[in-house]
Amino acid sequence: MKETVSTAMPPCFERWCQRFDDIFKTKAQRKEFRHYLGGLLGESERKNLSQLAADAVDVSYHSLRHFAVRANWSEIDINERRLQVMNSCRQTKISRGFSLIVDDSGHRKSGNFTHGVGRQYIGEIGKTDNGIVLVTTHLYDGRKSLPLDIELYQQGFSLPQGKEDPEFLKKPELALNLIDRTLNRGYHPAIVLIDAGYGNNTSFLFELENRKLKYLGGIAKNRKVTVENSENSGETVRVDELAQSLPDGAFTEVQLNPNKSKTLWVATMEVEVSRLSGKRSLAIVMNQPTFSEATDIAVRPKGDLLAHWKAHRDYFLTNVEANIVTPKWVVETYSQRNWVEVFYREAKVWLGLKEYQVRQKRSLMRHFILVMCAYTFILWHQLTGGLRRRWATKPLKTFTETLEAFRSAISYRFVCWLQENRDVFVRSKASKGLIWA
């Protein structure tokens, strides 16, 4: 059932919203916050402003749009409060030793009036198209997967002064700003996980090391490293050429996921990298035991837990101590990066991350952070078991199961409300041009 009404939402939703009430300056803002968040969590087929207003009994499109575009409230404060709420509960507390995942995700967007829109590589479809790209940081600690921060990437041509504009930042620069936000909160990751788009950027790795952060990142096959051993004494070679020169016995078999019988072959060694002092560990990961059997493929599919291992060869660089960097450690650690892909999929499919009817950067950021707030609401109840007490007879182990339980609660409460407020419902539908017998 896609219809909702704010006065009949489950009590747990109101308690969640009350945690943010002091951030808003007026009663109207607090009311629209509930409308927007409830619409994102509801069963509306679309999550744009028009649909959110159409599917709610007591919601005005113009009021909802004013809240998203012009109202005076801080999306940054909402995001900080969201993380404070998570950090204040024993079951959801952000502890030391988590993996900090840095990634970017894009989606198609037509036109050229929305901030950030332009022709660029869209990972969702695996090619260049007109769209928007977001840079994000994400936490995974073995129990929970939590989005931390998000920022809109704006290409130079979309800004008034081009690449000279003060707002123009490259993706690695945006990522460093988001990492600094995490550190400034006092959250200390055990390792930063990055793909080749960031791992191939030596300046980015240098800045991570300046912040005394450990990292494990993908690098391109044409990246050059210096190897010192009996066969290649101080020779600088491409990593794919190095992989081809290794004997078959150099690769160790690793079972990635026993349930899916995914087997990989990994070789690790110490190398030197230009502009980085000292040695780093290089890992070569293949889906076949020999280089000749493993052949490159152009595009990696995204969105499932084994996505990062569908390429036939992968190359990784890390500044973690060499005695820790075993083949099994490389595979198990980097596999955690797939949780950010799970978040992208759930936020886009269920919560409307890529659906909006706003153009300005601030309005876009408000939408993205409200989606993250809705996502965290479901995650919080999944981890604390709150919805299980009344709205589910089975364990809620995943985000989608918990969301379905909450939507069942919305439907049940709405049906109860409808029995006593049928005339209000009819008037609401009639005001939107629908005729009821």
pLDDT (mean) for 121-137: 90
Residue 229 is predicted with a pLDDT of 65
* pLDDT for residue 350 is more than 80: yes
Cβ contact 256:306 at 8 Å: yes
Cβ contact 147:375 at 8 Å: yes
Sign for the pseudo-dihedral over CA of 432, 43, 81, 190: negative
Residue 80 is predicted with a pLDDT of 98
**pLDDT tens digit string along 140-185?**
999 999 999 999 999 888 788 888 888 889 999 999 999 999 999 9
Residue 436 is predicted with a pLDDT of 59
Task: Report CA Rg, the chain.
Answer: 24
Cβ contact 230:198 at 8 Å: no
Q: How far apart are CA 120 and CA 135, in angstroms?
A: 14
Sign for the pseudo-dihedral over CA of 281, 282, 287, 290: negative
Residue 258 is predicted with a pLDDT of 58
Closest CA to 209 of 319, 114, 315: 319
More confident residue, 352 or 296: 352
Weakest-pLDDT range from 33-47, 183-197, 204-218, 250-264: 250-264
Tokens of 418: 């409808």
Distance of CA 155 to the CA centre of its chain: 20
CA–CA distance from 54 to each of 4, 171, 291, 354, 370 (Å)? 10, 37, 57, 19, 19
**pLDDT tens digit string along 228-284?**
765 556 789 999 999 999 987 899 999 876 566 688 999 999 999 999 999 999 999
Residue 298 is predicted with a pLDDT of 34
Cβ contact 84:333 at 8 Å: no
SS3 readout for 303-318:
CCCCHHHCCCEEEEEE
CB atoms near residue 58 (< 10 Å)? 13
* pLDDT for residue 437 is more than 70: no
Q: How far apart are CA 303 and CA 305, in angstroms?
A: 7
Query: Residue 300: which pLDDT band, with cuts at 50, 70 and 90?
Result: very low
Average pLDDT, the chain: 90
Q: How far apart are CA 422 and CA 123, in angstroms?
A: 46
* pLDDT for residue 110 is more than 90: no
Query: Residue 297: which pLDDT band, with cuts at 50, 70 and 90?
Result: very low
* pLDDT for residue 99 is more than 50: yes
Q: Using the structure block, give the residue that is written with the tokens 């409830």.
A: 38
CA–CA distance from 91 to each of 87, 88, 98, 135, 383 (Å)? 9, 9, 15, 28, 6
Query: Residue 6: which pLDDT band, with cuts at 50, 70 and 90?
Result: confident
Query: Residue 432: which pLDDT band, with cuts at 50, 70 and 90?
Result: confident
* pLDDT for residue 72 is more than 80: yes
Residue type, 77: D
**pLDDT tens digit string along 326-342?**
999 999 999 999 999 99
Backbone angles phi, psi at 323, to 5 degrees: -70, -15
Residue 295 is predicted with a pLDDT of 62
pLDDT (mean) for 281-308: 67
Residue 3 is predicted with a pLDDT of 83
* pLDDT for residue 316 is more than 90: yes
Q: How far apart are CA 281 and CA 274, in angstroms?
A: 14
Residue 260 is predicted with a pLDDT of 60
Q: What is the pTM of this model?
A: 0.92
Weakest-pLDDT range from 199-208, 271-280, 288-297: 288-297
